[in-house]
Every structure is written in C-alpha cells, then in structure tokens.
C-alpha cells in the first residue's frame, strides 16, 4: 500500500523543519508551523493524520498544544531535546502518543510512522471488511482501495441502488478517517426546499418568519469531521449553486448574516439516482457533480452479489434476539430471489422470520414472505366506498403506494427509472417512500 498521510510539523528551527520534511516526504504531504500562533491556527483549521511538535518554540513551551491536537483527533508525536521528566509526563497525560528525542531521529521517526500505518491497515480490516459484510471479490478489492486514500478534506461520491449500504459505507469512511470528530448526516430528500438553506448553513435570529433564535447549520457542525449528504440528487438547483460556492471557498454565510463561517470537512455524498441523466435534463449542475465526485464508489445491487446472500442471512440471524433456523431449500429460494430492495429488503425479510411463530424457516415460509413483499393491497375498485368509508387521503395514499411499488418492481428497484415512469418529481417520490415506510 502506498502511504498517503498528511502531516503538520510544529518546529521553530528552520533546519529542524527541513530535516523533518525530508524524513516525512515519502509518507505523504507535510505542512509546517514555525511558531505557536500559527500552530494554533493550523491545528484549529487544518485536517491532519499526524502532528509532530517540538516542545520549545522560541520563548514558548508548546506542551499545551497537545490537548487541542488530540481533541481534533490527530495522532500527536512530540519531538524534542527538552527532556524534563515532568514535561514528558504531562505530554503523555495530555494525549501524546510518543515523545521522541531528536537524537537519531532519521532512524527512529519512520519506525513510529510505520506503526501508525500498520495500525491504520488493521483498522481498515476491522471497520470496512468486518462491518461491511461481503464475499464479493471485486467489492472487497474496491473497499481495500478506500484505505489507500487520505480522506481528510476530500470528497467521496457513493452511487448504487437504494438499500445497498451507501449510508453504512459513509459512516465507516468517517470512522476510518476521524472517528473522534463529528459525523453530520442530512438526507436532502427529507427537508422541504424552503428550509434546506437554513438546515445546511444555519440562520440568524429574525432572518425569516419563525426564526425566533439563531441556529448553526450542518456545515458548521461538520467542521473538522464528515458531512454526509444523502440523496443529493434531490437538492434543488438554487441550493446546488450555494453549496458549490461553500465547498469551493470553504466558507459560507448563515441566512441573514454578513459574517462568513469557516467549514472544512470530508464530504460524502450519495444517491440512488443517475446524476448524469439528471445533468442531461439540466436538473443537476455539472460543476457541482465534478466537485463532489473527487472519488467515486459504486455499490452493486444484491442481485449481482448472490454469494453475499447466505452470509448476510447468517449475519441477520445473529442480530435478532430470537434466533431462527433456516433449511437448505429455503436458503436456496432466498438466493434465487432478485431482491429489488437489496440488503434492506433482505434484512426486513429476516426480521419477519425471527418474529414468526415457527422458528424454523422452510420453503413455504420463504415463499409466503417473498409473496407478501412483492404484492401489496390495491385500492378497492369501488372508489366511492373506499373514499367515504376510509377517507380521500387514504384512497390517494393507497394509490400512491401501489404505484410506487409497481414502478420499482418493473424497474428492478432503480429509482431514476421509476420516477421517470411515474412522471413525478424526486421530492414527491421520496415523500411517498417515507410516508408509507416502503422498504425498497
């Protein structure tokens, strides 16, 4: 694996900084701070894997920098010729991982860098490959490649059908990159268009009717951590332009404010829609597409990963407090199913197995379960009886639910094609999904 780390070197001596830069250059990108004031600014605003700091910075003793370094989630290594035992003890107490003498630094520092890389590789195995359950060789290879990337301040775009694990992957990337910082999640399809700007950027008191107090937005909360924008394809064009400006400048203005706010974070976006199709229809900005797709990761539908069905069933069996046994013939039926709702649909099906009275899942139970998931109640042909007995809203809701389910079935779970066939907006489609808790 080619190392890809980001370093901050805090050192007031020019030649010592040059020496550290040469040592660290093979492992990644090196930033520098020659004094305490600039060091505090870089620690507060930067995104680093490892911060290497001296203790003596001119007339200042920089041991108090260690606390802020550690709180930002950075790996802290002290490199100093100042060897007062009480200072060494304080450095470790504040969270420094190593306190190294400047003697033979060229031989010693790489040892600890390699230890960090080994620990990160082990963390990758634990977080990605243990928690993202798959035996698909191509997917495993792609997941391993994610560990080669220094995600701090970068952009990851995750595409794939709904229910394939895009939200889980975004969460795991955050845990791999900076688990001690904030993971801020926003599903763009769940926020009304007129509230999305305030949700993202925040607002000042009195900025609009109902703004009786100031509010910080998602971008500010994500500073130093990860911002995960789910279903980004549903974002209206007016907001796409404002988001692009904020991402490019790394600053933004809350609604009703003239004071800029800084925000630097890892950006993860996801959608089950085809953004290139939306760009062709002028529904998604091409410049924003290129900005958010710095790195791309596509999750295949479960129908293209049949080898994962058995291990996922075993996994969901263990998650349930009430265990169930599944017979070989029943498992084969599950493997042959197309799973338009992907992993989410499989999980819900296993939950029904756990909650059923039998405890032993055979072919008949699987057939019944898949039949229930594939066919829902349809509106009564006697619409007048339905309307005046259950109400107009109930009748319309039943039609909406059935239409969306049928569109998803015809399009094998593909959202963009379903929306196109139904001739409705993305926001209307997602509203129906949420109102009726459809598991696709």
User: Which of the two residues, 99 and 374, has the higher pLDDT score?
Assistant: 99
For strands 98-100 and 75-79, give the pairing.
parallel
| pLDDT per residue as tens digits for the range 351-368 | 888 887 778 888 888 888
Per-residue pLDDT for 440 more than 60? no
| pLDDT per residue as tens digits for the range 40-71 | 889 988 888 899 999 877 666 667 889 999 88
pTM: 0.70
The single residue listed with the structure tokens 């094998």 is: 412
Contact (CB, 8 A) for 178 and 126: no
Per-residue pLDDT for 373 more than 50? no
| pLDDT per residue as tens digits for the range 71-126 | 888 899 999 887 788 888 988 999 999 999 888 889 999 999 999 988 877 777 77
Q: What is the pLDDT of residue 370?
A: 82
Closest CA to 160 of 303, 337, 314: 303
Q: What is the pLDDT of residue 381?
A: 52
Task: Report the alpha-carbon distance of residue 122 to residue 116 in Å, rounded.
Answer: 10
Mean pLDDT, residues 263-278: 92
pLDDT band, residue 372 (cuts 50/70/90): very low
Q: What is the pLDDT of residue 423?
A: 82
Per-residue pLDDT for 1 more than 70? no
| pLDDT per residue as tens digits for the range 386-406 | 677 777 877 787 888 888 888
Per-residue pLDDT for 238 more than 50? yes
């Amino acid at each position: 694996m080619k190392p890809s780390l980001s370093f901050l070197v805090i050192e007031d001596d020019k030649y010592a900084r040059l020496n550290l830069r040469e040592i660290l250059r093979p492992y990644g990108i090196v930033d520098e701070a020659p004094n305490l004031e600039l060091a505090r600014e870089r620690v507060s605003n930067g995104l680093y894997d490892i911060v290497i700091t001296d203790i003596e910075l001119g007339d200042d003793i920089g041991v108090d920098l260690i606390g802020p370094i550690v709180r930002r989630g950075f790996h802290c290594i002290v490199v100093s010729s100042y060897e007062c035992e009480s200072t060494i003890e304080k450095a470790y107490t504040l969270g420094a991982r190593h306190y190294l003498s400047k003697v033979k630094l060229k031989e010693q520092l790489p040892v600890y860098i390699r230890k960090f890389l080994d620990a990160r590789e082990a963390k990758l195995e634990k977080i990605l490959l243990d928690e993202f359950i798959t035996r698909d060789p191509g997917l495993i290879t792609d997941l391993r490649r994610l560990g080669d990337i220094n995600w701090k301040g970068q952009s990851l775009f995750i595409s794939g059908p709904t229910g394939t694990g895009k939200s889980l992957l975004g969460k795991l990337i955050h845990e791999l990159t900076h688990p001690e910082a904030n993971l801020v999640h926003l599903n763009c399809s769940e926020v009304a268009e007129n509230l999305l700007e305030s949700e993202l950027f925040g607002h000042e008191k009195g900025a609009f009717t109902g703004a009786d107090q100031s509010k910080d937005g998602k971008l500010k909360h994500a500073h130093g951590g990860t911002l995960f924008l789910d279903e980004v394809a549903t974002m209206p064009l007016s907001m796409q332009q404002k988001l692009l400006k904020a991402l490019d400048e790394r600053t933004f203005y809350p609604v009703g404010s003239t004071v800029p706010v800084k925000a630097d974070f890892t950006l993860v976006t996801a959608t089950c829609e085809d953004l290139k199709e939306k760009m062709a229809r002028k529904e998604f900005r091409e410049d924003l597409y290129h900005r958010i797709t710095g790195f791309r990761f596509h999750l295949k539908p479960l129908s293209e990963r049949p080898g994962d069905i058995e291990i996922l069933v075993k996994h969901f069996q263990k998650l349930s407090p009430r265990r169930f046994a599944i017979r070989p013939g029943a498992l084969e039926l599950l493997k042959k199913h197309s799973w338009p709702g992907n992993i989410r649909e499989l999980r819900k099906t296993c939950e029904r197995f756990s909650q059923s009275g039998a405890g032993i899942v055979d072919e008949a139970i699987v057939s019944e379960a898949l039949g229930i998931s594939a066919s829902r109640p349809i509106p009564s042909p006697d619409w007048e009886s339905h309307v005046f007995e259950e109400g107009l809203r109930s009748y319309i809701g039943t039609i909406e639910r059935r239409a969306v389910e049928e569109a998803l079935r015809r399009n094998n779970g593909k959202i963009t094609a379903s929306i196109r066939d139904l001739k409705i907006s993305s926001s209307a489609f997602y509203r129906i999904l949420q109102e009726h808790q459809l598991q696709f």
